A and B are shown apart, each in its own frame.
Chain A
Amino acid sequence: MPDILTAIWEALPFMLSGAWVNAVLIVGAMLVGLMLGVPLAVGQVYGCKPVRRVVQIYVWAFRGVPILVQLYLFYFGILAWASSIPWLGWAHLESPFLAAVLVLGLTSAAYQSQIFRGAILSLPAGQFKAARALGMSDATAITTIILPQALRLSIPGWSNEYSILLKDSALAFSVGVMEVMARTRAVASTTHQPLPLSILAGIIFFALTWVGVKALLALEKKVRIPGYSH
């Protein structure tokens, strides 16, 4: 019994720095998803027909192809190919971490776009009309009237996306990112104590979920607008 405890104790710093890798990975992926998901959602709601089609195909492809497949394709395919072309000077791009952030982010953008779309659709069409009536351009109306309201309403959906990204980030071990699950395997293979280490990994994931969800709840409270139920 004490053996197990010492094994865990010794592995703790190693495991915790893995938690940091996961945290940076999903924050990066959430931001990529946000920056791409917002224009996708706006395009799907307000765009002309070709734009809507493009968004639909994007969402379909990224929601439909498993992350693991995308990771392989992206890391061993596209990134490996791009970084092997000498005159591009992208050799340093062959980083598993970058590949994981991009793949998780691009996939998350597809999911996040649907969250934002739902939020935009829950605003009455009159809001956009009123903004136009003030002489705003469509872009101004969307950025100053629609999105500030819609993004507030997206926070609950965002916390779902956060928790799922956290779970999916464990897949990054497949291209060699040393996140918590990869470290769990590595340590378990030397100490032959998989169960307590798995429990430790579970606790780390639960704690990361809890912190993120609580932070988003606090954000939601802070930006709440009077006049809405609750």
Chain B
Amino acid sequence: MDDTWSFVTEQVIPGLNLGFWATVQLAVPSALLGLFTGIVVGVLRVYGPRPAQRLANGYVSFFRGTPLVVQLFCWYFGLPQICLFIESLGPVMGVLNALHLAWVPRLLVLSPMGAAILGFSLCSGAYHSEYVRGGLMSIRTGQIKAAQALGMSPMQTVLHVVLPQAVRRALPGCGNEIVYLIKYSSLASVVTVNELTGMARGIAKSTWRNTEVFFTVGVYYLLLVTLATFILGWVEDRLSLPGFERRRE
């Protein structure tokens, strides 16, 4: 027992703390970017012009329908292939060189962290957009009519009247997606980000003590989820409106 405790505190926790920070650095920007993407895509799906609706719906089908691991592989290993391909095209590179833009294809080569954040944001955005769409649909038409009667443009109506209400209503669902994001962030280890699970795997491999290591890493994730739940609850409380209270009598 004593041995377990000292093993966990001396060998597991210091390593996991590093992974913890990597997970935070990964999850926080992904959550924010994902939410932003989700709001934009959700609005396009409901109020956008036909072609934009199609495009946005296609985006959602693709990212919800394919495994996240595959998406991450594409961003990390697939994009550099495209870069190499472009660089192998003589004429194209000639033009780019002439324009001093030869560095542009290199933008496709992402760091592990960059690829992971891109992958999580895009996938998360697809799910967020569905919650946002649900929120948009819950707005009564009277609200939109009143805005139009004041001369607001469709853009202004969406921005100042519809979205502020819809996003509030989507928040509990978006909270789900953020919790999922935290749990799925463990997949980033497949593109060599040393986040919690990646670190845990390394420690477990070198010490052969799976149970202790994975139990401890579970506690870390639980901690992250608890923190997220707490923050989400606080945000919901702050944004709560009279007549739409979080707790009803």
Query: Which residues of chain A have a CB within 8 Å of any CB of chain B?
Result: 45-46, 52, 59-60, 63-66, 69, 111, 114-115, 117-126, 128, 153-157, 159-161, 163-164, 167, 202, 205-206, 209-210, 213, 227-230
Q: Interface of chain A, helix or strand or loop or mixed?
A: helix
User: With A157-B173, A160-B177 in contact, do A121 and B134 touch (Cβ < 8 Å)?
Assistant: no
A120 neighbours in B (Cβ, 8 Å): 248
The answer to whether B139 and A154 have CB atoms under 8 Å apart is: no
Q: How far is the CB of A136 from chain B (nearest CB, A)?
A: 14
The answer to whether A119 and B140 have CB atoms under 8 Å apart is: no
Central interface residue in A69, A115, A121, A209, by most chain B CB within 10 Å = A121
The answer to whether A124 and B134 have CB atoms under 8 Å apart is: no
The answer to whether A66 and B221 have CB atoms under 8 Å apart is: yes
A205 and B127 alpha carbons, distance in the complex (Å) = 17
Query: Which residues of chain B have a CB within 8 Å of any CB of chain A?
Result: 46, 61, 64-68, 70, 127, 130-131, 133-144, 162, 169-173, 175-177, 179-180, 183, 218, 221-222, 225-226, 229, 243-249
The answer to whether A230 and B172 have CB atoms under 8 Å apart is: no
- A156: contacting residue among B130, B172, B177, B183, CB under 8 A: B130
The answer to whether B226 and A156 have CB atoms under 8 Å apart is: no
The answer to whether A209 and B64 have CB atoms under 8 Å apart is: yes
Interface CB pairs A-B, < 8 A, 12: A45-B248, A46-B249, A64-B221, A66-B183, A115-B176, A118-B134, A121-B169, A122-B135, A125-B244, A154-B134, A202-B66, A209-B65
- A202: contacting residue among B70, B169, B180, B218, CB under 8 A: B70
User: With A65-B218, A230-B46 in contact, do A114 and B64 touch (Cβ < 8 Å)?
Assistant: no
Pick the 3 closest A-B CB pairs, nearest first: A118-B172, A156-B134, A122-B169
The answer to whether A65 and B222 have CB atoms under 8 Å apart is: yes
Q: How far is the CB of A50 from chain B (nearest CB, A)?
A: 13
Question: How many inter-chain contacts with C-beta < 8 Å in the A-B complex?
Answer: 133
A119 and B168 alpha carbons, distance in the complex (Å) = 11
Question: Which B residue's beta carbon lies closest to that of A41?
Answer: B172
A179 and B248 alpha carbons, distance in the complex (Å) = 42
Question: Which A residue's beta carbon lies closest to that of B177?
Answer: A160
B144 neighbours in A (Cβ, 8 Å): 229
The answer to whether A163 and B170 have CB atoms under 8 Å apart is: no
User: With A121-B246, A156-B134 in contact, do A111 and B176 touch (Cβ < 8 Å)?
Assistant: yes
Question: Which A residue's beta carbon lies closest to that of B128?
Answer: A160
- A164: contacting residue among B137, B180, B221, CB under 8 A: B180
